[in-house]
Structure 1
Amino acid sequence: MPKCSGITRRQFVHRVLSVGSVALASPQLLHRSASATEDASTPWQIGIYTRPWDAHDYRVALDAMAEAGYRYAGLMTTAKTKDRGNLVISVETTLDESVQIGQEVKKRGLKLISIYGGGIPVHQSLQAGIDGMRKLIDNCVAAGSSSLLMGGTSNAKIVEDYYKAIAETCGYAAEKQLVITVKPHGGLNATGPQCRQCVEKVNQQNFRLWYDPGNIYFYSNGELDPVQDAGAVDGLVYGMSVKDYRHPKQVAVTPGTGQVDFRALMARLKRGGFVGGPLVIECLAPGELPALLQEAKKARAFVEDAVRT
């Protein structure tokens, strides 16, 4: 079995999953704890997800992120395989695989700040949902991520158990210093007010909102401006998917080239208490690898400028 720093991978996983507990409070406290050893010149962690490169293996995405000048990475979709599906990490991923994935991130000089792991099997039972959440939490910690992103559910029959499963495992995540977030994702969590209800339903300090302005437009058919919607989430935002929108129903858009007024949005979110944390680009204009690299560079420069104004 391959070894990591003189110990076996399994021993490494055990140590990683045995991190001592830390009290987690406001999103700002979470940010300060997570970024204590990072660049003190900015409170923002500007990263990018694997999604724009999901026609390729996730390692191709990581290579491009590093080449485009990013320091922070998010894991989301990747080229589908029979063993892994189309998510880099999910409830099906083993701990050893999660460790290996985390090592691939680190090898490129990147820091992992968000993992979208897909759904949990709460449709089977509440206990199955709880077990799925614990598996996602363990995988995130093994990979070295500081947060887990959930998509919510549009199924009214399981929504209560879905958020119960999250509530039951927030303490477990807090012991591992992992933040759990939910994003606007249609259905029962399509808007700021709906997302506030979801967060308040769970009522745990380390369950927070991951804002997504592109989805606010997308799921309202372009009718709800995220700058207006953002007032409903004051005090809840831990991070954001930097996603733009172009009507009708397009989110494969490089940030800064669509309808989202990011400068106005950031100003509104700052007034609501989001003054630092992860800003992870989720989508780019599609293209071949050289074109995606250029779009990734443009997106990073745009976000860096947007947070300065």
Structure 2
Amino acid sequence: MHYLTLPFFKEVEQAQSILLAGAGGGFDIFCGLPLYFGLRDQGKQVHLANVSFSPLFSATGRWLSPALMEVTAATQGNSRYFPEMYLAQWFAAQSEQVPIYCFERTGVQPLLTAYQTLIDLLHVDAIILIDGGTDSLMRGDEPGLGTPEEDIASIAAVHQLPLAHKLLLCLGFGIDTFHGVCHAHFLEAVAELARRDAFLGTWSLTKEMPEVQRYREVIEAVLRAMPKHPSIVSTSILAALDGLFGDVHSTGRTAGSTLFINALMTLYWCFRLDPVAQRILYLNDILHTQTIRDLTYAIELFRTTLPATKGWVNLPI
């Protein structure tokens, strides 16, 4: 049955110390938890990191670099919104001590230093970035980029690291329509990456999988701890896993919009990271950035130089 092995799993077969990192912050790292549980069950060391939207400067934890904090179950911080802290606490309730390495929302250069710190500390030989959604594949000339800053900073930083195995996973096809992303352009990007031998396949999560059941348990526990800050991405994926379909709203945050919950939201889309980075039209414009403000300005400036953006394309299905 080896001929049915997805290229993604061949790519990480020899890796022993894997860093799973939420590329876009917030709940992105949670989208990697089914994979985390699965890889760990294979005997691999797997570490968790995430761009944090919580104010780390007011939290307790060990600073490993100017933009990197180790968050544990003992960390104290903003109780209203700190998913990484609550994730570490969930692990502690399972009698596991799993630190979550939190990156500040920053420019590419501090993020690059933070990633190199983790490589040295954890002897990382593979990095897998996780995007909850699909806006990480927007190259810059699409009609809407979603919320690109954190995703693109993560991709640009990891692109510069001297590792053989650097991958990107997207989970939640269709969810970023809420943020203005045209998914025809996502599929166009997948086709381009396939031509460059950078598309490593897709596979579906189902609610029967033990790894997915644990993922659901974590999400529900963290959402109970932060009831005023539900994740649009995570609640949409859980709804799709339950077989819900169409304009189904699991959180009031999406009120007034039209959703399309469907089975495609449960697919992992897998890519080699370097070709993803190389197709970003403004990559060289952001490599020097130090702050998130620098990054936002560079993207906005690039957009003003475009003679036109691509038009919106409705999927003909």
Note whether the superposition's TM-score is higher than 0.5: no
Higher RCO (CA-CA < 8 Å; seq separation 6+)? 2
**How high is the TM-score relative to the length of structure 2?**
0.31
